[in-house]
């Protein structure tokens, strides 16, 4: 079940972010002030960067079952939990968008949370 959730969210996140960016660039970009456009781009960047980090970790873990982390064994906890602190601001920054891009970025943020939680074990 976790593998299915991870695969679906891994595939959905870049698609949602790309569609949000395309709709934002085409329809909404000229209207809001520059700080709002910056917040929207920051939200897109954070979600996409965290997706890329987690996908790289998943690929390395799939290739090597004794994988201790991208930064080494001593940094595993930071590597696992620190991106969660960067994901928290991504959702409020998505409120800088409006309309469909806002919904797409919120869905991407929630999918990112599911993607990270798929690798947490009790």
The answer to whether position 48 is within a domain reads: yes
The answer to whether position 78 is within a domain reads: yes
The answer to whether position 94 is within a domain reads: yes
Is pTM beyond 0.85? Reply is: no
Q: Which domain holds residue 69?
A: 2-117
* Count of domains forming the chain: 1
Q: Give the residue from 119, 120, 90, 122 showing the smallest Cα distance to 107.
A: 90
Distance of alpha carbon 117 from alpha carbon 54, whole angstroms = 11
| pLDDT tens sequence across 15-29 | 999 999 999 998 877
Distance of alpha carbon 70 from alpha carbon 93, whole angstroms = 28
Place of tokens 């970009």: 29
Of these ranges, 56-60, 72-76, 87-91, 97-101, the one predicted with the greatest mean pLDDT is 97-101
Is 10 in contact with 115 (CB distance < 8 Å)?
yes
The answer to whether position 37 is within a domain reads: yes
The answer to whether position 122 is within a domain reads: no
């Amino acid at each position: 079940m976790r593998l299915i959730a991870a695969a679906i969210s891994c595939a959905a996140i870049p698609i949602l972010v790309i569609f949000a960016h395309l709709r934002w660039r085409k329809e909404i970009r000229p209207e809001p002030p520059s700080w709002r456009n910056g917040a929207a781009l920051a939200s897109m960047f954070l979600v996409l960067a965290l997706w890329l980090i987690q996908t790289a970790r998943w690929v390395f873990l799939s290739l090597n079952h004794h994988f201790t982390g991208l930064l080494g064994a001593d940094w595993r906890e930071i590597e696992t939990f620190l991106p969660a602190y960067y994901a928290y601001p991504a959702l409020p920054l998505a409120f800088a968008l409006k309309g469909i891009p806002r919904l797409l970025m919120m869905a991407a943020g929630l999918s990112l949370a599911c993607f990270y939680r798929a690798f947490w074990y009790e």
